[in-house]
C-alpha cells in the first residue's frame, strides 16, 4: 500500500481534494505541501471519518484530550466529554486513557466522526504493570494494535534518547521530566540500561506506520515543566533529535508532526517555534499551551490561550486544548467545554496574524460593520460563541443599544451624527 505522501507525489488523492476544499486552497498546492511534509492529514484508511489538514497555509487546528485515569475511570463521562468537545468545534480528539478497559474505551472514541490520536506507551505501561517493565516487543505490538484499530495519529516519544537523558543530567532542571510519556521512556531506559527502542529501532517503527499510513506526532518528552526550566539543555537536544527523525520519516513516506515546547516565558515563544520549524524543515508543529506563567492554576486555559495565540502567530499549526483543571484534576465536561472554547479563540487569533488575508478576513470586517449598525442578530451570527453572547446581552437588553453605556451609547451617537451630517 502506498502512503498519502507517496500518493501526493503521483497526483492529488481524494482526501487531499476534500481537505483543500475545506481550507479554500488549491488541491495541487496542498498535495505538494503534503509531499514536502509541510502539511499532514491524519486519516487512517481503516476508519472513514471527517478529516482536517494541519500545517502550512491551513487554518490553525485544535485538539482536545480526553481519557480515563487510574483514579477516575468512567467511560461514559469520557464519551460525553468527546461529544462536548466535538459540539464546541474541536478538530481532533486524543484518547489518553490509562484506566479501565483501555481498548474498549479507544474503540468507543474511535466510533466518533473525527480524527483521533493516542499515546500507545500509556497502554503498554498498563499491560506491563509498570514503565520499567515495558520492552520493545510489547511497545511495538501496542503501536501496531492502535494502527490496526483505526487511530489516525500517534504520539511517540522517539527523541527521548540517551543523549537527551545525558543533557538532563548535565544541566539539571527543577522538574526533570513532566511529560507522562517522556517519564515512562526515561524509566524504561533506566531499567533496561538500553536505548529507547523507538529511537534505536526507528526504521522498524516507520515500517509499521507505513503499513497503516498513520501520522506520527514526534512527542516532546523533554518539554520544560516550568518557566525556570525553559532554557535548560534537554529540550534543545530533543529538538535536534526530532528534527533528524522528522527528515527520516519524510524520506520513508511517513507523515509526521513535531510536538513542543511546554512551559515557556512569553518572550521565548517565538524563538522556540522558529528553531523547531527550522530544525524540522517546516514540519507541522503541535503544541500543548505553551503555558506562559506557572502561577495561575484554575486559569491555565487562559494562560495557554495567550501562549497559543502567540505561538500560532509565529508558526504553530495545531494547539492542544488546556482546560481549567490543568495541573489540578482530570477535566469534567464543563472544563472540556471551556477549554475547547478558549483554544478556538487562540487558534482564530493566530489565524488573524498568519493567514494570507489575516485580520482583513470577511468575518472580522462583517463583525465591525454589525457593531457599527447595532445589528445584534448579525453580531450573534458572527460570534465564535453565539449562545454565550446572546445570553449575556439578554440579561438587561433594552432598545437598540446594550446596558454598558445605555442612553450614552457612543456608537449610536456617532451614527446619528454622521448620518445627519450625510443628509446635510
Ligand atoms: S452601549 Fe456602549 S458598549 Fe453597548 S453598543 Fe453602545 S457603545 Fe457599545
**Ordered per-residue pLDDT tens for the chain, 424 residues:** 799 999 999 999 999 999 999 999 999 999 999 999 999 999 999 999 999 999 999 999 999 999 999 999 999 999 999 999 999 999 999 999 999 999 999 999 999 999 999 999 999 999 999 999 999 999 999 999 999 999 999 999 999 999 999 999 999 999 999 999 999 999 999 999 999 999 999 999 999 999 999 999 999 999 999 999 999 999 999 999 999 999 999 999 999 999 998 999 999 999 999 999 999 999 999 999 899 999 999 999 999 999 999 999 999 999 999 999 999 999 999 999 999 999 999 999 999 999 889 999 999 999 999 999 999 999 999 999 999 999 999 998 778 999 999 999 999 999 999 887 766 6
CA of 402 to the centre of ligand 1 (A): 5
CA of 350 to the centre of ligand 1 (A): 27
Question: According to the model, what pLDDT value does residue 356 have?
Answer: 86
Ligand 1 atom nearest to CA at 371: 5
For residue 304 the three cell numbers come to: 495557554
Question: According to the model, what pLDDT value does residue 1 have?
Answer: 78
CA of 381 to the centre of ligand 1 (A): 18
CA–CA separation, 154 and 216 (whole Å): 5
Ligand 1 atom nearest to CA at 410: 7
Ligand 1, pocket-test mutation among 378, 401, 408, most atoms within 8 A of CB: 401
Ligand 1 atom nearest to CA at 412: 6
Report which of 397, 285, 332 is spatially closest to residue 74, judged by C-alpha positions. 332
DSSP 8-class letter at 291: B
Question: According to the model, what pLDDT value does residue 397 have?
Answer: 78
CA of 345 to the centre of ligand 1 (A): 22
Ligand 1 atom nearest to CA at 408: 1
Residues with CB under 6 A from ligand 1: 401-402, 404-405, 409-411
Report which of 244, 273, 286 is spatially closest to residue 60, judged by C-alpha positions. 286
Helix (H) or strand (E) holding 117: strand 116-118
Q: Are 211 and 148 in contact (CB under 8 A)?
A: no
What are the CA-CA distances from residue 195 to residues 134, 153, 178, 180, 310 (Å)? 13, 24, 20, 18, 36
CA of 383 to the centre of ligand 1 (A): 16
For residue 41 the three cell numbers come to: 492529514
Q: For the chain, which domains are there?
A: 4-358 (3.20.20.540), 361-423 (no CATH)
Tell me the β-bridge partners of 291.
Answer: 263
Question: According to the model, what pLDDT value does residue 399 have?
Answer: 81
Ligand 1, pocket-test mutation among 410, 412, 415, 417, most atoms within 8 A of CB: 410
DSSP characters over 145-192: HHHHHT--EEEE-TT--HHHHHHHHHS--SSS---HHHHHHHHHHHHH
CA–CA separation, 360 and 364 (whole Å): 7
How many CB atoms sit inside 10 A of residue 104's CB? 10
Report which of 94, 99, 144, 142 is spatially closest to residue 114, judged by C-alpha positions. 94
Question: According to the model, what pLDDT value does residue 398 have?
Answer: 73
Ligand 1 atom nearest to CA at 406: 1
Ligand 1, pocket-test mutation among 411, 413, 416, 417, most atoms within 8 A of CB: 411
- Whole-prediction pTM: 0.95
**Around 157, how many Cα atoms within 13 Å sit in the side-chain half-sphere?**
30
E-strand stretches of 219-324? 256-259, 285-288, 318-320
CA of 343 to the centre of ligand 1 (A): 27
Amino acid at each position: 500500500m502506498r502512503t498519502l505522501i507517496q500518493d501526493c507525489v503521483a497526483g492529488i488523492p481524494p482526501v487531499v481534494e476534500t481537505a483543500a476544499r475545506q481550507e479554500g486552497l488549491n488541491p495541487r498546492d496542498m498535495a505538494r505541501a503534503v509531499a514536502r511534509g509541510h502539511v499532514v492529514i491524519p486519516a487512517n484508511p481503516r476508519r472513514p471519518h471527517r478529516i482536517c489538514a494541519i500545517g502550512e497555509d491551513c487554518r490553525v487546528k485544535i485538539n482536545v484530550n480526553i481519557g480515563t485515569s487510574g483514579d477516575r475511570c468512567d467511560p461514559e463521562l469520557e464519551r460525553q466529554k468527546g461529544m462536548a468537545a466535538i459540539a464546541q468545534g474541536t478538530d481532533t480528539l486524543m484518547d489518553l486513557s490509562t484506566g479501565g478497559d483501555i481498548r474498549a474505551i479507544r474503540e468507543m472514541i474511535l466510533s466518533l466522526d473525527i480524527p483521533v490520536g493516542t499515546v500507545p506507551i500509556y497502554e503498554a505501561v498498563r499491560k506491563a504493570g509498570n514503565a520499567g517493565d515495558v520492552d520493545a516487543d510489547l511497545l511495538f505490538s501496542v503501536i501496531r494494535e492502535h494502527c490496526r484499530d483505526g487511530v489516525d495519529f500517534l504520539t511517540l516519544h522517539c527523541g527521548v534518547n540517551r543523549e537527551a537523558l545525558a543533557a538532563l543530567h548535565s544541566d539539571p532542571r527543577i522538574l526533570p521530566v513532566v511529560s507522562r510519556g517522556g517519564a515512562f521512556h526515561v524509566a524504561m531506559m533506566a531499567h533496561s540500561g538500553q536505548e529507547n527502542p523507538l529511537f534505536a529501532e526507528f526504521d522498524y517503527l516507520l515500517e509499521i506506520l507505513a503499513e497503516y499510513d498513520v501520522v506520527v506526532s514526534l512527542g516532546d518528552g523533554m518539554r520544560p515543566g516550568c518557566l525556570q526550566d525553559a532554557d535548560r539543555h534537554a529540550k534543545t537536544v530533543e529538538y535536534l533529535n526530532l528534527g533528524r527523525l522528522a527528515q527520516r520519516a519524510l524520506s520513508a513516506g511517513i507523515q509526521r508532526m513535531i510536538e513542543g515546547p511546554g512551559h515557556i516565558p512569553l518572550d521565548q515563544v517565538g524563538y522556540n517555534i522558529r528553531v523547531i520549524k527550522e530544525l524540522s524543515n517546516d514540519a507541522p508543529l503541535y503544541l500543548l499551551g505553551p503555558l506562559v506563567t506557572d502561577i495561575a492554576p484554575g486559569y491555565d486555559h487562559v494562560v495557554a490561550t495567550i501562549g497559543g495565540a502567540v505561538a500560532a502567530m509565529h508558526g504553530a499549526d495545531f494547539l492542544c486544548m488546556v482546560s481549567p483543571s490543568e495541573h489540578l484534576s482530570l477535566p469534567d465536561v464543563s472544563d472540556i467545554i471551556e477549554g475547547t472554547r478558549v483554544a478556538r479563540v487562540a487558534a482564530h487569533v493566530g489565524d488573524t496574524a498568519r493567514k494570507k488575508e489575516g485580520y482583513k478576513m470577511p468575518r472580522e470586517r462583517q463583525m465591525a460593520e454589525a457593531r457599527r449598525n447595532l445589528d445584534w442578530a448579525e453580531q450573534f451570527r458572527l460570534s465564535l460563541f453565539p449562545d454565550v453572547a446572546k445570553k449575556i446581552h439578554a440579561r438587561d437588553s433594552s432598545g437598540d443599544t446594550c446596558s454598558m453605556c445605555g442612553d450614552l451609547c457612543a456608537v449610536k451617537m456617532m451614527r446619528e451624527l454622521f448620518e445627519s451630517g450625510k443628509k446635510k
